[in-house]
C-alpha cells in the first residue's frame, strides 16, 4: 500500500474545491483576523514574561515545582532549570495563568 503513487482515498473534485475554499476562508477570516493576532501577541508576551520571572526566581512557583527546578538544575545546569520552568508554565490553564500574571506583574494585586 505504501508503494502506491496515488492516495487510496481522496476527495471528489467538487469536495476538494470546497475544502480548499473553506481553508482559504478560515485563514483569512479566523486565523489571520486582527483580533486573533492581537490575542496571540499578548499570550506570547505573557508566556515570555512568566518564563523570565520564574527562571530567575523559582520561588515564584509552587513548592513542588521549585523542588523540581532545583533538582533538574543540579542534574543538567541552567537548561534543566529552564526545562522545569517551561514544564510548569505549559501545565498552567488560563484560569491559573491569568491571576498568576496579575499577582506577579501588577503592583496593585495582592499576593
Give the CA distances from residue 50 to residues 5, 71, 76, 102, in Å, rounded to whole numbers and listed in that order: 49, 20, 21, 11
Residue 6, SS3? coil
- pLDDT exceeds cutoff 80 at 17: yes
Q: Which residue has the higher pLDDT, 106 or 23?
A: 23
Digit-coded pLDDT (tens) for 73-109: 999 999 999 999 999 999 887 776 766 677 777 777 6
* 56-66 average pLDDT score: 95
Virtual torsion, Cα 30, 46, 88, 69, nearest 10 deg? 150
Q: Which residue has the higher pLDDT, 46 or 18?
A: 18
Digit-coded pLDDT (tens) for 30-58: 999 999 999 999 989 989 999 999 999 99
**Helix 34-56 / helix 78-90 crossing angle, nearest 10 deg:** 140
Where are the chain's structural domains?
13-105
Q: How far apart are CA 45 and CA 51, in angstroms?
A: 10
Query: Rounded to two decimals, what is the model's pTM?
Result: 0.69
Backbone angles phi, psi at 108, to 5 degrees: -80, -15
So what's the pLDDT on residue 107? 73
Amino acid at each position: 500500500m505504501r508503494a502506491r503513487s496515488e492516495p487510496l482515498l481522496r476527495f471528489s473534485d467538487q469536495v476538494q474545491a470546497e475544502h480548499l475554499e473553506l481553508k482559504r476562508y478560515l485563514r483569512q477570516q479566523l486565523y489571520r483576523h486582527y483580533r486573533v493576532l492581537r490575542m496571540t501577541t499578548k499570550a506570547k508576551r505573557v508566556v515570555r514574561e512568566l518564563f523570565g520571572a520564574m527562571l530567575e526566581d523559582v520561588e515564584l512557583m509552587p513548592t513542588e515545582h521549585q523542588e523540581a527546578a532545583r533538582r533538574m538544575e543540579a542534574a543538567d545546569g541552567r537548561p534543566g532549570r529552564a526545562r522545569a520552568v517551561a514544564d510548569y508554565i505549559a501545565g498552567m490553564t488560563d484560569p491559573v495563568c491569568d491571576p498568576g500574571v496579575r499577582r506577579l506583574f501588577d503592583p496593585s494585586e495582592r499576593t
